[in-house]
C-alpha cells in the first residue's frame, strides 16, 4: 500500500531487481481495521509481473470467507483476533498448498499462539496497530519477540517471525537481534524521502544482513 499506485508495475520491477524477497499486500476491509485498501484483484493482476513470492496480509473480519480469493498468493496471513477457529483456518490454508502465517496485534500476548504453533509456518508480529502507514514504532514489540522466540524454542522452532510496522534500519536491527527473520518495509524503511526505493531497500537489507 506504500507503492506509487499510478505506477505499480514499475515499482514491482524496480524492487524485484533491487533484491526484494517478497511482496506484502495489505488487505483491509474497513471493519477489522478503520481503513480500506487493496483487494484480491490488484494482487491477482500483479501476479504475472513478478516471480517473487506474494504474501496477502488479511486485516479483515472472518478471514475464512476470503481465502479462496487469494489463491495466487504464496503466503496467507490472517489475524488471530479476526477468527473464532484459527486451527481450522490454518489447516484449510495449508491444504491449499500455501505458507500459513498468523498475525497478532500489539496488545495480543504471544502466549495466545501456544496451541496454534504446530499448525503454522510463520508469525507476523504487528509493531504498530494495523490500519495505516506512517505510525510510530511500539517499543514493547522487542520484548514480545523475545518472549515469542522462547516459546517457539520449546513448541516449534521451525516457525519464523516476521514484523510489520515502522521498520527502519534502527528498529529492524533491534528486532533482528531479538530473533526476527522477515521484515516488512514501508514508509520508515523503503518508501520515504532521501533515496530511491532501490537504494533504501538495499540499505535496509544490508543493515539487517550484517547482524
Residues known to be catalytic: 26, 164
98: DSSP letter: P
Nearer to Zn ion, 26 or 29 (CB): 26
**CA atoms of 139 and 40, how far apart (whole Å):** 32
Nearer to Zn ion, 5 or 153 (CB): 5
Q: Under 8 Å CB-to-CB from 170, ≥6 apart: which residues?
A: none
Nearer to Zn ion, 2 or 116 (CB): 2
Number of residues that bind Zn ion (CB under 5 A): 3
Q: How far is the CB of 181 from Zn ion (least distance, A)?
A: 16
Interface characters, 31-70, with Zn ion (x: CB under 5 A): --------------------------x-------------
Q: Is 164 a binder of Zn ion (CB under 5 A)?
A: yes
Q: Under 8 Å CB-to-CB from 180, ≥6 apart: which residues?
A: 125, 145, 161, 162, 163, 172
Q: How far is the CB of 154 from Zn ion (least distance, A)?
A: 27
Q: How far is the CB of 26 from Zn ion (least distance, A)?
A: 4
* Residue nearest Zn ion, CB atom distance: 57
Binding region for Zn ion (CB under 5 A) out of 34-42, 66-74, 148-156, 157-165: 157-165
Length of the chain: 211
Nearer to Zn ion, 1 or 148 (CB): 1
Contact 67, 87 (CB under 8 A): no
Nearer to Zn ion, 90 or 125 (CB): 125
Neighbours of 177 (CB within 10 A): 12
2, 20, 23, 26: which one binds Zn ion (CB under 5 A): 26
Q: Reduced to 3 states, what is the DSSP secondary structure of residue 104?
A: strand
**CA atoms of 211 and 209, how far apart (whole Å):** 6
Q: What is the DSSP string of 127-162?
A: SS-TT-SSPPP-THHHHHHHHHHHHHHHH-TT-EEE
Q: Given the rule CB under 5 A, which residues bind Zn ion?
A: 26, 57, 164
Amino acid at each position: 500500500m506504500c507503492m506509487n499506485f499510478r505506477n505499480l508495475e514499475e515499482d514491482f520491477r524496480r524492487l524485484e531487481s533491487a533484491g526484494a524477497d517478497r511482496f506484502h499486500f495489505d488487505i483491509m476491509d474497513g471493519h477489522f481495521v478503520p481503513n480500506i485498501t487493496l483487494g484480491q484483484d490488484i494482487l491477482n493482476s500483479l501476479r504475472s509481473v513478478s516471480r517473487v513470492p506474494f504474501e496477502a496480509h488479511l486485516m479483515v473480519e472472518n478471514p475464512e470467507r476470503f481465502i479462496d480469493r487469494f489463491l495466487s498468493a504464496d503466503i496467507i496471513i490472517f489475524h488471530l483476533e479476526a477468527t473464532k477457529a484459527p486451527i481450522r483456518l490454518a489447516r484449510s490454508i495449508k491444504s491449499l498448498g500455501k505458507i500459513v502465517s498468523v498475525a497478532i496485534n500489539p496488545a495480543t500476548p504471544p502466549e495466545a499462539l501456544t496451541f496454534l504453533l504446530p499448525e503454522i509456518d510463520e508469525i507476523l508480529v504487528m509493531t504498530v496497530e494495523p490500519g495505516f502507514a506512517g505510525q510510530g514504532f511500539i517499543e514493547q514489540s522487542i520484548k514480545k519477540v523475545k518472549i515469542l522466540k522462547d516459546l517457539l524454542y520449546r513448541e516449534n522452532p521451525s516457525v519464523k517471525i516476521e514484523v510489520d510496522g515502522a521498520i527502519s534500519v534502527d528498529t529492524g536491527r533491534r528486532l533482528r537481534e531479538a530473533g526476527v527473520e522477515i521484515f516488512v518495509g514501508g514508509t520508515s524503511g523503503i518508501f520515504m524521502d532521501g533515496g530511491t526505493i532501490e537504494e533504501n531497500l538495499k540499505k535496509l537489507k544490508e543493515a539487517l544482513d550484517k547482524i
